[in-house]
Amino acid sequence: MPAALVTGSSRGIGRGIAYALADAGYDIMINYTSNEAAAAEAADGVRARGTRAEIAQANVTDIDQGIELVDRSIEAFGRLDLLVNNAGIAPRVRADLLEATPDSYDEVMATNLRGPYFLTQHAANRMIEMKAAGTIDIGRFIVISSISAYTASISRGEYCVSKAGLTMLTRLFADRLAEHGFPVNEIQPGIIATDLTSVVKDKYDPLIADGLTPIRRWGQPEDIGKAAAAIGLGYFDFTTGAAFPVDGGFHMRRL
């Protein structure tokens, strides 16, 4: 049975990915930072789909904890076939670009970009070893970035910078790991209904109804899960360094 580590999978998009990957036959390491009850619920949801689930508390902002999280995942299932870098945060306060603070910048960048950069580095090294040992056939990587990777939002600049950085992280690891046959791809979710976006629901409801996204509905965690499962099932193994928009068509320029 292949195994996946999905960071930040106790709630929201990460949980949707965990469930879709479980449906695709993956054992799942559920990761969370603070909400243990949500993590337990997500693990039960995976098990109800017929595969194994383990839970690990780890803060991906802390590089040592990220490394330990990868190692614990491999210990738990004896292998790691897929890493999904999903954990991420929005700025605590949406502040105008001319007033935003270095503390907020540092927190968002450390969680969304710096932590995943070194977590991916460690997972890549472990997967190269596992492939050489015959434990896995292929290592796959998914990076959950955002439409914010290319959309300027002046009330959360640090978030946009972190997500744009994830696009380059994807391309760098895609290039480096290509010689091992490991695909590294990015999913760019649009506006997805989770706790993260619940605070802007009243703002986005009318915008979506008015056609901000050509498909006029909120995205759901399941929408992202299905895309991740397609990658996890190997349907895109000859695709690497690519960005998959799962956004109801938001990415199109329209006139």
Give yes or no: 159 in active site: yes
User: Using CB under 6 A, which of the segments 2-10, 71-79, 133-141, 172-180 binds ligand NAP?
Assistant: 2-10
Question: Of 138 and 196, which has the nearer Cβ to ligand NAP?
Answer: 196
Site membership for ligand NAP, residue 35 (CB under 6 A):
yes
Within positions 45 to 74, which residues make up the interface with ligand NAP, using CB under 6 A? 59-61
218 phi/psi in degrees, rounded to 5: -65, 140
Residue type, 245: P
Question: Of 57 and 135, which has the nearer Cβ to ligand NAP?
Answer: 57
User: Using CB under 6 A, which of the segments 94-102, 128-136, 189-197, 208-216 binds ligand NAP?
Assistant: 189-197
Quick count: other Cβ atoms within 10 Å of Cβ 198?
A: 10
Within positions 4 to 23, which residues make up the interface with ligand NAP, using CB under 6 A? 7-14
> 159, 215, 155, 161: which is closest to 190 by C-alpha?
215
Q: How far is the CB of 35 from ligand NAP (least distance, A)?
A: 4
Q: How far is the CB of 8 from ligand NAP (least distance, A)?
A: 2
Within positions 195 to 224, which residues make up the interface with ligand NAP, using CB under 6 A? 195-197
Among 163, 198, 203, 204, the one annotated catalytic: 163
> 120, 42, 33: which is closest to 80 by C-alpha?
120
Buried-exposed string 53-74: b where 16+ CB fall within 10 A, e elsewhere: bbbbebbbbbbebbbebbebbb
Q: How far is the CB of 18 from ligand NAP (least distance, A)?
A: 10
Among 9, 146, 148, 162, the one annotated catalytic: 146
Distances from the Cα of 29 to the Cαs of 8, 13, 125, 211, 213, in angstroms?
10, 15, 18, 37, 33
Give yes or no: 26 in active site: no
Question: Of 33 and 213, which has the nearer Cβ to ligand NAP?
Answer: 33
| Beta-carbon contacts of residue 245 (< 8 Å; ≥ 6 apart) | 147, 188, 190, 251
What is the Cα–Cα distance from 81 to 3, expressed in whole angstroms? 5
Question: Of 34 and 133, which has the nearer Cβ to ligand NAP?
Answer: 34
